[in-house]
Structure 1
Amino acid sequence: MNSRTLHHPSYSPNYFSLDDILATNEKLPCKFDRAVISMGFLDPSARSKDLEKGLKLELPLWMASALGSRRKIVSCSLPRAFNDRYKDILRADASLVDLHALSPYYYELGRHLLPLVGAEGATLGTHLISTLKKRLRGIMDNSLNCQEAETLSRKSHFDHLERRLFQTGRSIYQDHQLWLQRRTHLLHTVPTAPQQGKRKISEIS
């Protein structure tokens, strides 16, 4: 693993990614489709050391994924942030929604949910893409036009991915301003941009 790898968002199960750990720690409603022996400690109200078939519990996504996708022990439902009510609100005007309040890792959480929620996965994927498209222009407008003192308040409603996009936009805008002022010696490379070596003219021709 090199230092460049650590700058990339996870977007796939990644043992070393703090973003991935935090996203998959969010809880979602689950139903046990089979009885499970000696796992009663997962249910604080359980009187038995075993979990009965049909029991409903909220489990962290990483555990639900292990129990649901491979072993088919539990079936998962969408968490509150992705229920029909909030989807309708986002369809009506996605730009006004405090996405960070719904889930700090909204898009990554949704991506992890896709293989776990059966037929709902197809509509969820469409919803995630549509939501980001509707909010992207506002994110970029804010990143290019807000003053430094306004940065925190402007991005407070953004989820983690949107904040990364906002910060990238800010960095590019600031570099462009430095270039216009002929202060190119102060330019810096955006962390997410891959580093590429220079080529000699003889190599190009």
Structure 2
Amino acid sequence: MGSYYDVDAILTDSQKVPCTFELTVSGLGFLEGNMSGDMKQGSKVELPLWLGEMLALSLNTSSLVTLDPPSALAPRVMNALKADPRMVDLRALAPHFYNLGTRILEIFEEEEITEVLNESFKSRAAVIADQAHNPRGALGEGADFMRGLDENERQLFRAAHDSAKAVRTWMTDLKKK
């Protein structure tokens, strides 16, 4: 969890996650579009992560809602990441994909998801570093991959690109002396 003022953390916590109500709650029907009714037990709705987590952990004896992993972390996505992480458009799944994964893993202890996300990030980071050092690749055949980067990967690209540029400038300055 980031700082209170961390925009990325705020955007991650606003990501919708599927929730199932375990109890009937009067007056919450508006969450389903039923303006005057109750939220019935067994109702499935998508709520912002912060709200779903709060409702799932709100009662001491049993939870008000059951939180389900979001579609961005569904088994089909995990299988695609296992097969070839470079081919998955993470941005289309969730702009803050890795932050969402981290937040979900704070709630669910899923070792397989942890492993898949770690391996995917490592694999994609190598390609990102290569693209950052070779801007023509990022504009040419690597353009589709670059569009699919999540926010963490975009920051990594910027840092790698800026550092490569700084090294080239430093080398040029050395040669002038």
What TM-score comes out, normalization by structure 1 length?
0.75
Contact 2:27–2:36, Cα closer than 8 Å, also in 1:
no
Match of 2:42 among 39, 54, 62: 54
Q: Secondary structure at the match of 2:101?
A: helix
More moved, 70-79 vs 173-182: 70-79
Alpha-carbon spacing, 1:147–1:158, altered in 2? closer, same or farther (3 Å): same
CA shift at 1:68, angstroms? 1.1
State percent identity of aligned pairs.
Answer: 30
CA shift at 1:147, angstroms? 4.0
Aligned residues: 170
- Equivalences for 1:69-80 in 2 at 5 Å? 69-71=57-59, 72-80=63-71
RMSD: 2.4
Task: Give the drift of 1:145.
Answer: 0.9
Whether 1:37 aligns to 2:22 is no
Residue number in structure 2 paired with 1:135: 124
Give CA-to-partner distance per residue, 1:51-105, whole Å, 9 cap, x none.
Answer: 1221111111111111113432111111211111111111111112111111110
* Cα displacement (A) at 1:113: 0.8
- Where does the alignment leave 5 or more consecutive residues of structure 1 unmatched? 1-11, 185-205
> Which protein has the larger Cα radius of gyration, Structure 1 or Structure 2?
1
Match of 1:63 among 37, 46, 51: 51
Uncovered stretches (5+) of structure 2, i.e. residues with no partner: none
**Aligned residues of 1:140 and 1:166 also touching (Cα < 8 A):** yes
CA distance in 2, matches of 1:64, 1:52: 16
8 Å Cα contact 1:69/1:116 also seen in 2? no
Please give the residue correspondences for 1:104-119 in structure 2 after superposition, counting only pairs within 5 Å: 104-117=95-108, 119=109
Indicate the residue corresponding to 1:8 in structure 2: none
CA positional deviation for 1:137: 0.6
- Conserved? CA contact 1:68–1:116, under 8 Å: no
Closer/same/farther in 2, CA of residues 102 and 149 from structure 1, 3 Å limit: closer
Provide Cα deviations, 1:151-183, integer angstroms capped at 9, x if missing partner: 994631110000000000001100000011017
Q: Identify, as 1 or 2, the structure richer in helix.
A: 2
